[in-house]
Amino acid sequence: MCQNSKLAETTAKRDGGGRHAALVAAGILLSRIVGLIRQRAFNHYFGQSDAADAFNAAFKIPNFLQNLFGEGVLSASFIPVYSRLLAQDDEQEADRLAGAILAILGFATSSIVFVGVLVTPLLINLIAPGFHGPKRDLTITLVRVLFPGAGLLVLSAWCLGILNSHRRFFLSYAAPVIWNFAMIGTMLIFGRRELPALAVWLAWGSVAGSALQLAVQIPVVLRLVRGLRPALDMASEYVRETIRNFGPVFVSRGVVQISAYVDQVFASLLGTGAVAALTNAQLLYTLPVSLFGMSVSAAELPAMSSALGEGDEVAEYLRKRLNAGLRRIAFFVVPTAMAFLALGSMITAVLLESGRFRAADSNYVWGILAGSSVGLLASTLGRLYSSTYYALRDTRTPLRYAAIRVTLTVTLGYLCAFPLPRLLGIAARWGVAGLTGSAGLAGWIEFAMLRYTLNGRIGETGLPGRLMAKLWAAATVSAAAAWVMRAAVGRQHRLLGAVMVLAIYGVSYLMSTHALAISECVDLVNPALRRLRLRGR
């Protein structure tokens, strides 16, 4: 074993997955908390009105650009190559790669933004065919304002790739805080305007926030990449490798985005408020996906990509990191899925209910959120499996399985959004819950395929059945305790009562998992208990 084995061991010691994941989670948590405040303010001013539908639909069109060229794609294509160069101490080639990718991204996104602004009316016909008259006109105006901001966020994602590769995790994920504050400030300043005018001002606030989000990261990036020279350099083999990796991931993200847009098209045909309600549910659903799935995956990808050694040694290293990451994700996501299912109305009320957003709106969003809970665990675990493939320089396998998932999502989504509500004799607007539930089922199928194929390459991975049984049992007991508290507090003091119920749920889950000796809980709780005892003395 040799030198390669020692290098793999050194890499493992250098990359503390738990500590780095905690930094990512802290940054994401901070930005998501401010994001929830922003969404609460948005609901306060807009409710689930036509203007709210228009803004949410408009925001997703330039967001398509960000998702295609942004964090997910760069994480899969750029970070593995760049991190390996850093692990080999080849700083000159790493700087050359960073400059080339920056130049390529800048050229591509600016071209797409220019074309996108010109063809906006055609895009509206594709993604919101249910919008007509002033609602459609407002959506077109908003898209044209928002497009340049999306280009700035793509460059911000390049900064994230640099920072993550250098293990500077907190700043890259906390930077969106300033974008959220810019939008909150815009609503506070212009909140008395008519809703269409306020929506336009908010779009400009989003563009300003995008510029500020990029600006706070640039100084740190320039210190890390001292030899940065943006240039359309295609001669480097590492640039060519990144572009080869980029292609399949770009297509994969495009396929996933098509699914998201199909959902929006379906929702636009289900009546006023459906698009806004789906957006609210997705905001809550993506919180645990980002906080737990993304935090672990983002921390693990540079570490996995930096592993050096023989094939068997690298496979063992990846297997250990993957299994440890899966346990961390499941410990937090299982109770979250149960909370969305059992306590979703209270969660929605606490986080979103204000002004024009009323109790009936909370219940509607809860139904959509309950559908999302079906696939929550599969989505978060699947992110880590995809990161493992990317660390192995394999971007094509996740692409194939993403395409299968999207095909299933679109087919099942149509059936559950339109024929199913009619068969059940319920209002058409509840078809949105069918969209999220069917997407969850497709997510489980994709997860199973990712796991099966990877196990054939690096050995057995996954979560023990006994652990999963304990986690779900603890979450179920905790939900029962929360419902007892809910009955005790009744409907008086709705906000305070919801906070009390959710607190009981969280404490009960920690107590249950600690009693079951689940290591993730023991490692989390015991140090805190020891500190409390020491202070008590």
**pLDDT above 80 (res 249):** no
The answer on 375 and 499 residing in a single domain is: no
More confident call, 320 vs 1 = 320
- Residue 2 falls inside a structural domain: no
Mean predicted confidence (pLDDT) in 39-45: 88
- Residue 153 falls inside a structural domain: yes
% pLDDT > 90, the chain: 37
**pLDDT above 80 (res 418):** yes
Structure tokens at 275: 């698009």
Query: What confidence category does residue 14 fall into, taking pLDDT thresholds of 50, 70 and 90?
Result: very low
Residue where the block lists tokens 């789906």: 278
Most confident of 96-110, 215-229, 246-260, 444-458: 444-458
Query: What confidence category does residue 265 fall into, taking pLDDT thresholds of 50, 70 and 90?
Result: confident
Most confident of 232-246, 293-307, 446-460: 446-460
Give the H/E segment covering residue 324. Answer: helix 311-352
**pLDDT above 60 (res 12):** no
% pLDDT > 70, the chain: 89
> What is the model's pLDDT at position 197?
94
Judge contact between 304 and 297, C-beta under 8 A: no
Boundary residue ending a domain (415, 442, 463): 463
The answer on 374 and 313 residing in a single domain is: yes
The answer on 299 and 236 residing in a single domain is: yes
Residue where the block lists tokens 């303010």: 41
Boundary residue ending a domain (463, 492, 527): 463
The answer on 68 and 51 residing in a single domain is: yes
Mean predicted confidence (pLDDT) in 492-516: 86
- Residue 7 falls inside a structural domain: no
Query: What confidence category does residue 1 fall into, taking pLDDT thresholds of 50, 70 and 90?
Result: very low
Residues, the chain: 537
The answer on 146 and 25 residing in a single domain is: yes
> What is the model's pLDDT at position 5?
43
Judge contact between 207 and 148, C-beta under 8 A: yes
The answer on 160 and 273 residing in a single domain is: yes
Boundary residue ending a domain (443, 463, 483): 463
Instruction: Return the bridge partners of 354, or none.
Output: 357
> What is the model's pLDDT at position 88?
83
Judge contact between 277 and 358, C-beta under 8 A: no
Give me the chain's average pLDDT, please. Answer: 85
The answer on 26 and 155 residing in a single domain is: yes
Judge contact between 423 and 487, C-beta under 8 A: no
**pLDDT above 70 (res 358):** yes
Q: Please state, in angstroms and rounded to a whole number, the distance separating the CA atoms of residues 42 and 52.
A: 8
Most confident of 75-84, 101-110, 160-169, 354-363: 101-110
**pLDDT above 60 (res 17):** no
The answer on 224 and 107 residing in a single domain is: yes
Structure tokens at 173: 């994920």
Which structural domain range is residue 144 located in? 12-463
The answer on 496 and 387 residing in a single domain is: no
DSSP string, 80-116: HHHHHHHHTT-HHHHHHHHHHHHHHHHHHHHHHHHHH
- Residue 300 falls inside a structural domain: yes
- Residue 256 falls inside a structural domain: yes
pLDDT in tens, 434-447: 999 999 999 999 99
Number of domains composing the chain:
2
- Residue 296 falls inside a structural domain: yes
- Residue 1 falls inside a structural domain: no
Mean predicted confidence (pLDDT) in 186-200: 93
Burial of 428 (0-12, 13-18, 19+ CB in 10 A): middle
**pLDDT above 60 (res 7):** no
The answer on 319 and 303 residing in a single domain is: yes
* CA quadruple 302, 303, 304, 310: dihedral sign: positive
- Residue 5 falls inside a structural domain: no
Give the H/E segment covering residue 65. Answer: helix 50-69
**pLDDT above 80 (res 10):** no
> What is the model's pLDDT at position 8?
44
pLDDT in tens, 68-122: 666 666 767 888 888 888 888 888 899 999 999 999 888 988 888 888 888 888 8
The answer on 164 and 39 residing in a single domain is: yes
Quick one: how far is CA 413 from the chain centroid?
21
